[in-house]
Chain A
């Protein structure tokens, strides 16, 4: 890294996203903007029932409709694709029924695709889809996890006998003894309703199977083109080198566009059947019933502690409803596993017991979503420790100071199995306390309570597993690569072209990569062009998920940059007859390290390197294209951390909640670009506040979605959002040169924790507690009513 020449665009600089001008002037290219010659459009007919048998399907009227090319059912589509079994091999006992592309005899969730109607235009496909007549015989519905595991409830998939997908327990130390002998035990129940990822751009792809050479190109709004290259190749039996997946501009992913979807696969099969490009764009209503959803947990958690303030044990018991199938490749047991393994991580304690169960219900699949189970761990831990501090009569900040793991104990493995190395809980907390003027806020809170104004202050500490390494996905059997790569080429004119295996859904990842490349080589960012998201041209890689882009892909870019610089200097040395060690590159010029004087421009190096090799010694091997890949072989993840605070006011007569202020102190290791990092934190915070206060897929008891529009499903909006203050502690990741950890999920995890604690802090004068997310006015009023009647 060229730290001595740190420029206004290098590592650490506040560089606005390079693509903003293009995107904001309407020149982005999203799936819906792209048209291929002879392209068709598909519209799916879906099950309106959560569980029903298909008695008959009549596609004839639809086939006759104007513009229709084909109407395909399970019999046409399913045999062409190997079924998906969403089971993680390294999770003993995990099981799922195989998932077919189109429902053939039965539908097991509302929204499951049944018939594909393919026409010349989307309008014609939609009109024809309305003509498909399906006769249904509704079957008994398993609506939620408690019903699903109750004795006598039939199994959704008879071949599995019951509805338990996965049941996992862990125990460290002697939790039973610790709970029995503790001075105090506090127990809470938590409920997290289902929610959506709600990307600005919905899902979509264009599948282009070419019967001429048997090749498949898919332009796909997906976070991991390499994952999909593998899936298309294996499941559709196309040689891998004939499959190319390109991720164009993508309007938000949040993990939702990482999953595998049967409707998307069916659209690809339709292209193979018809030998023409087929476009599939999910529309907003459709996204409500077909995008992977998130959360849906019921958790019981306990904490045991002593009068001395020592925490002696914690316990978590999680029951999650994961939908009708295991999510292929990405496994919807992850929510529960992460929730139970990260609980308590920032705090010193020895004894831990936890269990998570993943349960099948007649609902759409749960999949990856920002934060996965980590916010649930943060909420359980922070609410329980806040209540413990109260019980002891200790201020919550003081309690954290005393019970956080001391720096001297690092590295360590937590009772939940987390490896902590370079975390900075204490530093983040002290910075936050100063930032929010903690004592003054507490004073204001006390004063206002006398005037019947009920404010709450919540502080939440969190860990974020970022940038998973091969020990994470490798043993699961899923061909998901945790490496990333970077190709660099010096162009003859002296600029640099970069191809990364990363993808960008709006984070600005590619801008960060350009900064790293520019900084490492010694050119300005204007001299670097970056492309990502094409499985056929970059080194193999993972893409965007688990807050990994900058940490892994950035390290690969740094290593490639170092290689290219080395090669450039070797060539410059030969041309100028100077030892390469005496040369450096600054501002696009090769300079003499000692004098700082320019020796030769990169344009001249490029010109000679590509066109005048005849002037070089015969044995000089010119390599102006380089490739590097990176993965932390033994690393499970890089652990990022932070602390957030929320200041809220609860209207205790109406149950309405207003977030007055939100502060985040984050440690994601080296900050490559503060604008990008703060953007991630702020966006995550807004999504976190949305989750706690607004977002909920409301289902009837028999699993019918009741609020499937954006008028009724409430996303957080600007008016309701507080001012957000972001600050950083930088503790670099020790195992890489770059030192970056991930940042993608931190904002959401911490904000969910701090809003939970803050709202419950505001309700303390009433002895009330709200534990059912989202905190709707009615749930707040119900909590107050329970407290008034002496229940909690």
Chain B
């Protein structure tokens, strides 16, 4: 979901241009922190602009000052050290697809990135922006929870670290404090016997998913040993689907019957009725999707 499109029609005027705002492009991270601190609630950071600008153009919000962090070197780059992969907040979705490091060590992110919007959006949209925006239908927040990521947050007051599963607080709500930026995201290199599984159901390629699943699963022979399943699109925020993750552990593969986790899907997922799609239908789709993701892992293991 990009935003609630009924909002704009409730106004008298249908407008697609932002209200007036000022724009500034700081030349260092410290400079950015200072501007954000000085301007308080009037200032909003802009990275790729692929979520923020749509909202501004619909006049759903009207900040006075945009602070463009897109050129800050401190927020860019990728590195690996001591079993930890660090991706700068400005890592573009397109880079997740191309980076050898990501493809080898964090294939889940590369699989997911292919489903985010279209080329033009992936060239601009950033990892930090996606996590900060915390759209419950977005791929990257779910992946970061599934991968046990840690977010590095910074402000004029210094840096702190927060686990991804503690970062997402609710619908478009995060642990970010005023004046704080996501600096980087740290991912532990996954253990040898775990496999990444990913799938989503979207009406058209590049659309936000009706329901999606990012999974890290460990299996031995033809049995699932442990699973960390994170759904997107049918939840209010990215979080581990605890009941389903437990319910699928121990299942023999391939999974033919979904009865073992149907009830748990109802516990962990909280879809709403949306125009043209009932919550009940989404739960059914989530069930089918879960079975398919788990079985795709068997195929991966076999090949």
Contact = CB atoms under 8 A, between A and B. Distances in A.
Interface string B1-38: 11101101111111111010000000000000000000
B204 to A, nearest CB: 5
B99 interface: no
B281 A778 contact: yes
A719 B204 contact: yes
A134 B285 CA distance: 44
B9 A704 contact: yes
Contacts of A610: none
Contacts of A286: 14
Among the interface residues B8, B15, B205, B275, which one has the most CB atoms of the partner chain A within 10 A?
A: B15
Nearest to B59: A130
A132 B5 CA distance: 22
A318 B30 CA distance: 68
Interface stretch (A620-628, A659-667, A677-685, A706-714): A706-714
A706 B277 contact: no
B275 A698 contact: yes
B205 A717 contact: yes
Given A717-B205, A778-B281, A43 B275 contact: no
Contacts of B102: none
Given A694-B204, A698-B276, A285 B16 contact: yes
A139 interface: no
Given A653-B288, A654-B288, A714-B203, A706 B11 contact: no
A284 B54 CA distance: 13
A706 B13 contact: no
Given A127-B19, A696-B276, A717-B204, A709 B8 contact: yes
A285 B14 contact: yes
A708 B19 CA distance: 21
B71 interface: no
B83 interface: no
A283 B13 CA distance: 11
Interface in B118-154: none
Contacts of A47: 12
Contacts of B210: 777
B64 interface: no
Contact of B14 (A122, A132, A288, A781): A288
Interface string B272-284: 0001111001001
Given A698-B276, A714-B203, A778-B277, A126 B15 contact: yes
B281 A781 contact: yes
Contacts of B19: 127
Contacts of B3: 709, 711
Interface string A43-55: 1111110000000
Given A696-B276, A714-B203, A704 B13 contact: no
Contact of A132 (B12, B59, B201): B12
Interface in A425-454: none
B205 A48 contact: no
B277 A694 contact: no
Given A776-B276, A778-B277, A123 B17 contact: yes
Interface string B185-227: 0000000000000000101111110100000000000000000
A289 interface: yes
B139 to A, nearest CB: 16
A356 interface: no
Size class of the contact patch on chain A: 35 or more
A712 B276 CA distance: 10
Interface in A11-63: 43-48
A110 interface: yes
B13 A708 contact: no
Interface string A645-663: 0000000011010000000
Contacts of B1: 711
Contact of A46 (B14, B54, B203, B208): B14
Contact of B281 (A43, A134, A708, A777): A777
A134 B5 CA distance: 22
A134 B204 contact: no
Contact of B201 (A46, A285, A654, A698): A654
A450 to B, nearest CB: 18
A45 B13 contact: yes
B14 A706 contact: no
Nearest to B288: A653
Interface string A596-630: 00000000000000000000000000000000000
Nearest to A778: B281
A286 B206 CA distance: 25
Nearest to B1: A711
Contacts of B208: 711
Nearest to B15: A126
A711 B5 contact: yes
Given A654-B288, A712-B275, A777-B285, A283 B15 contact: yes
A784 to B, nearest CB: 11
A285 B15 contact: yes
Contacts of B205: 717, 719-720
A714 B281 CA distance: 19
Interface in B31-65: 54, 58-59
A110 B9 contact: yes
A44 B14 CA distance: 9
A546 interface: no
Contact of A48 (B10, B15, B207, B277): B10
B8 A714 contact: no
Interface in B251-303: 275-278, 281, 284-285, 288-289
B10 A126 contact: no
Contacts of B8: 285, 708-709
A705 interface: yes
B55 to A, nearest CB: 12
A707 B205 CA distance: 19
20 contacts: A45-B12, A46-B12, A46-B14, A47-B12, A48-B11, A111-B14, A129-B15, A130-B11, A130-B13, A134-B12, A285-B8, A285-B9, A289-B14, A694-B204, A709-B8, A711-B208, A712-B275, A714-B204, A720-B205, A778-B278
Given A696-B276, A781-B281, 9 more contacts: A46-B12, A132-B13, A285-B15, A654-B201, A698-B276, A706-B5, A708-B9, A719-B206, A776-B203
For the complex of A and B, the 6 pairs showing the least CB-CB separation, nearest first, are A285-B14, A719-B205, A709-B5, A706-B275, A286-B14, A698-B275
